[in-house]
A and B are shown apart, each in its own frame.
Chain A
Amino acid sequence: DGGITQSPKYLFRKEGQNVTLSCEQNLNHDAMYWYRQDPGQGLRLIYYSQIVNDFQKGDIAEGYSVSREKKESFPLTVTSAQKNPTAFYLCASTGTSGRALNTGELFFGEGSRLTVL
């Protein structure tokens, strides 16, 4: 089945360490997104990419970096510059065919929960 796979599901990090969260999709979607969610809050956009080798900052990009070398993959690195990285991270994608073309429906992964010790 097509979908979005995020890994790891849970991750613990010591302060000062960089960590990379993986996001892979086999939906043939062009656009991919990273969101951050804090407890009891909505989702905030970190970065998004419309096409391979191109990405733009979202509302809270500071302390994060991304790459888009392949259409299927959009990894997020949480750097040591991110002062409060403990959160739930969600990856999403949007397609350009079928139902996604008409609605812009976002397809989400299961999320990665990062805890800084």
Chain B
Amino acid sequence: DAKTTQPNSMESNEEEPVHLPCNHSTISGTDYIHWYRQLPSQGPEYVIHGLTSNVNNRMASLAIAEDRKSSTLILHRATLRDAAVYYCILSAAYSGAGSYQLTFGKGTKLSVIP
């Protein structure tokens, strides 16, 4: 699997936007970019995913560089509930025909300051 690089930790003030970077210089043309987050003592939860175009959903936005070698997860207004470890993961397209193994690295630990 192609590898991703994320900062170990980041801080943000409450109610300010947060930009979480991810580098994936060896990404292949068919790899999707996924973001999950994990709250303390819980299982990870899906945040967003994309292939080439920027994506928005109710939780966050995903900005993908034109060369696809990096991406940024954007939380528009950080809240205390957004304090978590954020994982950036690459994977091939899911065929729906079998298992789908995602490799979770150490991620970025986001702290939100009240």
Contacts and interface: CB of A to CB of B under 8 A. Distances in A.
Interface stretch (B21-29, B43-51, B65-73, B75-83): B43-51
Contact of A108 (B41, B45, B107): B45
Would you call the interface of chain B mostly helix, strand, loop, or mixed? loop
8 contacts: A40-B106, A41-B106, A42-B103, A42-B104, A50-B99, A103-B34, A106-B102, A109-B43
Contact of B101 (A4, A48, A108): A48
B43 A102 contact: no
A31 B45 contact: no
B98 interface: yes
Contact of B44 (A31, A49, A106): A106
A113 to B, nearest CB: 8
A56 B99 CA distance: 10
Contacts of A81: none
Nearest to A95: B96
B99 A42 contact: no
Which of A91, A104, A106, A109: most chain B Cβ within 10 A? A104
Contacts of B101: 33, 45, 48, 58
A106 to B, nearest CB: 6
Would you call the interface of chain A mostly helix, strand, loop, or mixed? strand
Interface of B: 32, 34, 36, 41-46, 49, 87, 91, 93-94, 96-107
Contact of A33 (B34, B91, B99, B105): B99
Contacts of A101: 94, 96
Given A33-B99, A42-B105, A48-B99, A111 B94 contact: no
A25 interface: no
Given A40-B106, A42-B87, A42-B104, A94 B46 contact: no
Given A31-B98, A33-B101, A43-B104, A92 B49 contact: no
